[in-house]
Every structure is written in structure tokens, then in C-alpha cells.
Amino acid sequence: MSLLLYCAATLLIIGICLLGRNGKKWEVAVLKSMADPTLSSLILTFLLAGILSQILNQSGLVEGLIWLTGRLKISAGWMPLIVFLVGALIAASCGTTNGAIAAVIPMLMPASVAMGCPPALILGAVISGTFCGVQLSPAGSITIISAACHHLDIPEVIGFRMKYTICAGILAAGLFLILGSRIQGVQAIATEGSAKTLVMLLVPVLMILLMLHKTSLFQTLLICDVTALGLGLATKRIALNQILAEEGPILSGISGMRSLIVFCLLLFGVVGIVKESGLLQVLSRFLFRRCKRPAGAETILCLATILVTLVLGADVPAVTVLAPLTEDLEDRFGLDRRRIAVLMDSTSTGLCSLLPHNPGIMTACTLASAIAPITYTQALPYSFYGILLLVVLAASIPLATIKLRKVRHENKRA
């Protein structure tokens, strides 16, 4: 509730400050932004993801996963790393953090918590893994937008970005392994009769296959909801009269997403006002005029990306807004167009994994809070991938400048 009040207050303050007393302009900007098809898609996605989470939770999937980890003799110490790797694999396959989060949290977090893993650490592993995986995915929306805005091919963007993603991912995996080794949890006990609920694992597998076939996220979640419900009924873990009950999977799933949906409505209102005011464009142009050297241009580019991402809370809108303002950086400073694209999208994605108003983070926190008492601030210190990615990108700026100087020096000698 505090997040909703914060967003509503921000909406009013920004509207008054940027658009003055022109109430009609303020109203049009808000309504236009709230009518964005992206928002409608997000709301439907949240609803279907919430229902899917409840179906998997109420179908007894947790018992099956505990049984499986017991049979495989997996200790609690390995779970943070496993959750990170599974999240990365699913996100790389489906190309979306929301879809990966909707699959990983209901599938692995309950079992991990039941084994004694700290909920904050597991949520951090989910967030880190999914945001890492989406940067490796050719189907990721940020990859597609980044390539299109900078007139590059998708393999070029992924190939150039790979070294930063892999470096941050390996470091994050190492930290999850180290912290996992300190967990004094228990090994799951294979309880008789719980193995049959593993059939519910077909749902996330189906989700990955549908995403690989470029099925839309909405259609994928809808198909997975129906499939999961059918499997729940077939295994008799969900009764027919329970489906539409107040505590049943459908109503519980919808109810759990109400606050998130209201928050997104208000957030899109803020985005509409900021875009209408032209503040971002004016500020970005002002910053780039002050650049004189490649390192300075890259630093300002990252800072501008951070600023826009902080306001918009998502990487795709941030890259879309800033990309037109970077078209002359290649000619002015000799920067590689691929590096410009990767600096922008990776900085924005890394920061998004740390923002409470990012849709993916809101989804993760909402789903996780239904499993264990966990808040965003508790999980933030364990979002290792986003933190490390920003550090790696920052370290790359002076290194890239040195490399550029060497190339120029060699060209002059030639």
C-alpha cells in the first residue's frame, strides 16, 4: 500500500510541476499513457501469472519438488545456485523476465524455503537468474529494441554483450554458491506418494516450448493456466468445486495481483506526464553537449540511461527514449555502435533488476510474498547480477578508452 501511495503522490507532484495549471494537458497525458496497449498486456499477464502461481501452489508441486530433491540428495546449500541457473535458462528460452519469474518462483521457491533457505536469498537468485538469462535471449524485448534502435542485427548485439553478461553471471553464481554453502538447512525427505505431483513440471516445460515457438506471453500463460488446471484436476489435487471458490486458484490468483495492477496504472500515468513534458529529451541533449572525450561520452550515456530508467522503471522504454539522441556519438567520438547499444541496454537492464517499480520486480515480490514473508528491501542485497553487471560496465569504460587510443595510435602509424 505504501508503494501505491508513493506512486500516486509522485503522479500529482510531477503533473503539477511539469505541466503547471494546464489540467487538460495533464489529464490527456495520463489517460493516453494508461490506454497504452503495453499496460493492457501487462495487466492480463499479471492476472494469468497470478492464477498460474496459485494453481501450481495448490496442486502440491512443492511436495513433488521436495520429494525429487530428496531422491537426488540435493542439500539446501545448492538451492540458491540451482534457482539462479534454472531462472537464467528459462529466461534465455522464453525471452522475458515476467514469464521466467512466473515459472521459477512457484516451482522452486516454496521447496527451497521448506528446506531452510532464506527467502530473501532465493528471491535474489530468481531475480538475478531471470535478468541474466533475458540478456542472453535473442527473443528478449530489450535485445530486439536495442538492435532496431541502433540499426544492428540481433546476433551483433548479443555477441558484443556476451562478455559483460557472462562475467557478471559467473561472479553472481559464485556468490550464490558461497552463500549457499553457509546455509544450515536440511536435505529434503522423499515422502511416499508425493512424486505424482511432479507431473505439474510439464507446465513450465510447456511454457518454454511455447516461447521458443514465438507464442505471445499472453497466449502462453493462458495455455499454461488451462493445462495446469487440467493436470490439477487429473491428479485430484484440485477439486472441481474448488476452482471458483474464494480460496481457489482463480480468485486467489486475481486477488493477489490487485495492488500490482493499480500500481502499474499509476506508474504509466507518471510515464505519460514525463514524456509529454519533454523533460527527458531536454535533459539528455544538455548532458551530451558537455561531452568532449569518448570516456566522458560513455559515462554521460550511462548516467543518462540510469536517470531515464529510474523514472520509467523499465529498460525497453528507456532505450527507446534515449536511442535517437545517440545517433551522432559514433561520428563525434569514434564509439562502436554496438558498444553504444550494449552500454544503454545493459545499464538499463542491470538497474531494472534493482528497482522496486520495475514490473518484473513487482511480479517477483508479489508472487514471493504469497509463499514466505519477504519484502523488496530484504531481497535487494542479494540481487547480485544487476549490481555486478553495473560494476562490470563501469569498469569497462576506462578499459575501452585505452583500447580506442591504441587503435587510433596504430592507425596514425599506419
pLDDT on residue 382 = 95
Distance between CA 4 and CA 10 in Å, rounded?
10
Structural domain harbouring 309? 2-408
pLDDT on residue 235 = 81
Distances, alpha carbon 65 to alpha carbons 35, 52, 187, 240, 365, in Å: 41, 17, 12, 24, 21
Whether 53 maps to a domain, the answer reads yes
pLDDT on residue 32 = 79
Question: DSSP characters for 85-139?
Answer: HHHHHHHHHH--HHHHHHHHHHHHHHHHHHTT--HHHHHHHHHHHHHHHHHT-TT
Whether 414 maps to a domain, the answer reads no
Whether 107 maps to a domain, the answer reads yes
Whether 72 maps to a domain, the answer reads yes
> For residue range 343-352, what is the model confidence (pLDDT) as tens digits?
999 999 999 9
pLDDT on residue 9 = 58
pLDDT on residue 139 = 65
The stretches in the chain having pLDDT less than 70 are: 1-23, 38, 42, 61-70, 93-94, 139, 185-195, 208, 211-212, 214, 217, 260, 263, 267, 271, 274-275, 279-281, 283-285, 287-288, 290-291, 328, 330-332, 400-414
> For residue range 333-367, what is the model confidence (pLDDT) as tens digits?
777 888 889 999 999 999 999 999 888 898 899 88
Residue 290 in grid coordinates: 558537455
Count how many domains the chain has: 1
Query: Under DSSP, is residue 256 helix (H, G, I), strand (E, B) or coil?
Result: coil
Residue 320's CB is within 10 A of a number of other CB atoms, namely 16
Largest CA distance in the chain: 81
pLDDT on residue 217 = 66
Q: Is the distance from CB of 129 to CB of 83 less than 8 angstroms?
A: yes
Distance between CA 5 and CA 199 in Å, rounded?
42
pLDDT on residue 118 = 92
